[in-house]
């Protein structure tokens, strides 16, 4: 699906979201936890976006962002780090697409296509989610997914309510 990156300055694209507590601070804290060990280097971070809930609609709005990172970790090791960040920040998984203090997803890893019980790359719903694609365009504007640029995928979605913010409310 991904024609991901003719870009050599990043190895992976990661999506982050929060709709509990200080949402913007949660995103920043998660990025810090991802990069603290030094084996994941932040290349670029998107703006923060205020977004409506997706999947389960009866919940608070989200703050979403994407980061481009450089790393020598493999895709499963990177996923393990993302899940470790969620655990450290005390994410509780009560319902699919429900409220969460933090969500950290590996969206794209190099040009790898992968589908196993632990990880699917590119992320299987990446082109269905404006809250992912708009921040993703901030960090990887030339990214191609399934032969199309991000603008084409974004144009096919309802982007109402997905707006950049300076700080969380």
Mean pLDDT to the nearest integer, 5-32: 90
- Give the sign of the dihedral formed by CA 157, CA 2, CA 43, CA 91: positive
State the pLDDT at residue 58. 78
Q: CA 69, 152, 168, 80: dihedral to nearest 10 degrees?
A: -30
Residue 10: both structure tokens together:
């990043």
Residues labelled catalytic: 91, 100, 103, 105
pLDDT tens, position by position, 39-52: 999 999 999 999 99
Q: Convert the pLDDT of each residue in 39-88 to its tens digit.
A: 999 999 999 999 998 777 778 999 999 999 999 999 999 999 999 999 99
Is residue 125 within 8 Å of residue 37, measured between CB atoms?
no
Element (H, E) at 24: helix 23-35
């Amino acid at each position: 699906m991904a024609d991901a990156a003719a870009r050599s300055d990043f190895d992976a694209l990661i999506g982050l979201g929060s709709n509990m507590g200080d949402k913007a601070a949660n995103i920043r804290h998660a990025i810090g936890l991802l990069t603290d060990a030094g084996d994941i280097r932040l290349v670029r971070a998107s703006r923060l976006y205020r977004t409506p809930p997706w999947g389960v609609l009866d919940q608070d709005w989200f703050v979403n962002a994407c980061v481009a990172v450089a790393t020598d970790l493999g895709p499963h090791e990177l996923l393990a780090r993302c899940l470790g960040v969620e655990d450290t920040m005390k994410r509780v998984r009560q319902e699919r697409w429900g409220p969460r203090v933090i969500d950290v997803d590996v969206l794209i890893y190099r040009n790898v296509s992968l589908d196993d019980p632990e990880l699917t790359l590119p992320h299987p719903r990446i082109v269905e989610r404006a809250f992912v694609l708009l921040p993703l365009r901030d960090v990887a504007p030339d990214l191609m997914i399934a032969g199309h640029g991000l603008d084409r995928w974004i144009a096919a979605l309802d982007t109402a309510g997905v707006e950049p913010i300076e700080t969380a409310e």
